[in-house]
Structure 1
Amino acid sequence: MEPTRMKFYEFTPTRSIRVRWVLQELGVDFEAVSIRLPTGEHRTAAFLELNPAGKLPVLVDGEHTITESVAIALYLAEKYPDRHFIPTDLLRSQLYRWLFFTVTELEQPLWRIARHTALYPEALRLPDEIPLARQDFTNMAIVLENHLLNRQFVVGEQVTVADFILAYTLDWANETQLLDPFPTLVAYLERMYERPKAPMRIAAALASIGDDRSSQ
């Protein structure tokens, strides 16, 4: 009996990119299921059974349903230990350190900017939040810039899931014009997306949505 293919529920410009990156780097067989956020497909009863939060991405692997992009990336790294995308020694603590740094210190300011420029209804947006969030990101980007000096990867001597999560997050920051003062981060970002199995960047993913709309 053949194993059941994993199902990966995604919407291209979102943090789904992180998980797709891990899947492509692993070279595993999976079925991609596009959930179109603009048309509300993430609020259907069928999707909410998979993720009551109504958010993407979601990975279904047999009896396991995993939500949250970082959790899915870690699950896949654990499932395929031969690829060494997660350290098996004490370096693992450093991997967790930089994963948490990415999703708290870097990603959260980006979310604040997005919410108060586009996601919240206009009446609820707080313009004063934007410069504060940009400064919060910049302060933490300085820490990362210094860490990555003379390093190819964020942890150890080979690529890990921390790099896939971080590179996507830096691409998001780049779209928000926050990376110009950080040449080391820009070089790292470009280097990561030059990998043969890297996914499309956020700008290309957004453009693909526009192309889909124009062809309908």
Structure 2
Amino acid sequence: MKLYEFAPTRSIRARWTLQELGIDFESVTVNLPAGEHRSPDFLKINPAAKLPVLVDGDLVVTESVAIVLYLAEKYPQKKFLPTDLRKRAELYRWLLFTATELEQPLWRIARNTFLYPEEERQPQDVELASRDFKGMAAVMETHMKGREFVVGDTVTVGDFVLAYTLDWATMESLLDDYPTLRAYLERMYARPKAAMRIAQAAASVGIG
């Protein structure tokens, strides 16, 4: 099994899941600043030129949420995916909520602060995206009150995905008004097999 990754990206979600599973895998670093994700060899693996990518035998899985779900199903003994249909539906709900309602505003901020060429950035969208994120963070704050995990009484892949996304939000100072989410974030990254936080991962590859 190979994980194509670049430390501070959403690769963290896949790596975290693999580490919690205790699965042996080969890490293949794809240097984004150097443009390695657009090399012909990598584009054969993922034509979208995105990370992470998991290769398991002849199976290629892209998209971080798809990767963590695949791993959870492949190794059911860890119970990172609920077997109860209702709880599984709840997990899908919050995974998609995280990816669409929380992550997308963060992407808008990133694109318009440093990813897009300066002449293409829309600074006004940063404020709008921040407002959009905070509205949805309030929903998650309410959901997480009195809870240790996103769904049920044990950790699931939903927690690995959410914790990474909230860590991203802290980089933009967007969690100041959400003490429940901040406490949850700290608990998750205190787990023995947690992945590196984004800032630490960026420093490990000389960014920031």
> TM-score category by the smaller chain?
over 0.9
Question: Which of 133, 140, 154 is matched with 2:136 structurally?
Answer: 140
Match of residue 145 from structure 2 = 149
Q: Deviations over 1:107-157 (max 9, x none)?
A: 000000000000011111111101100000000000000000000000011
Question: Which of 74, 77, 86 is matched with 2:81 structurally?
Answer: 86
CA RMSD, Structure 1 to Structure 2 (Å): 1.0
Offset of residue 210 of structure 1: 1.6
**What TM-score does the superposition give when structure 2 sets the normalisation length?**
0.98
Q: Deviations over 1:45-75 (max 9, x none)?
A: 1110100001100000011100000000000
Question: 2: CA distance between counterparts of 1:56 and 1:13?
Answer: 11
Question: Which of 170, 185, 189 is matched with 1:189 structurally?
Answer: 185
Tell me, yes or no, if structure 1 residue 201 matches structure 2 residue 197: yes
Tell me, yes or no, if structure 1 residue 174 matches structure 2 residue 170: yes
Match of residue 17 from structure 1 = 12
Give the number of equivalent residue pairs.
207
**What TM-score does the superposition give when structure 1 sets the normalisation length?**
0.94
Tell me, yes or no, if structure 1 residue 66 matches structure 2 residue 30: no
Offset of residue 207 of structure 1: 1.1
Deviation beyond 3 Å, 4+ runs, structure 1 = none
Question: 2: CA distance between counterparts of 1:108 and 1:38?
Answer: 22
Tell me the SS of whatever aligns to 1:9.
strand
Tell me the SS of whatever aligns to 1:37.
coil
Match of residue 161 from structure 2 = 165
Tell me the SS of whatever aligns to 1:128.
helix
Stretches of structure 1 lacking an aligned partner (at least 5 in a row): 1-5
Offset of residue 209 of structure 1: 1.7
Tell me the SS of whatever aligns to 1:87.
coil
Question: 2: CA distance between counterparts of 1:190 and 1:57?
Answer: 24
Question: 2: CA distance between counterparts of 1:39 and 1:126?
Answer: 25
Match of residue 49 from structure 1 = 44
Match of residue 3 from structure 1 = none
Q: For the pair shown, which has the larger CA radius of gyration, 1 or 2?
A: 1
Tell me the SS of whatever aligns to 2:33.
helix
Question: 2: CA distance between counterparts of 1:31 and 1:116?
Answer: 34
Q: Deviations over 1:50-107 (max 9, x none)?
A: 0000110000001110000000000000000000000111210000000000000000
Stretches of structure 2 lacking an aligned partner (at least 5 in a row): none
Aligned residues with identical type, % of pairs: 67
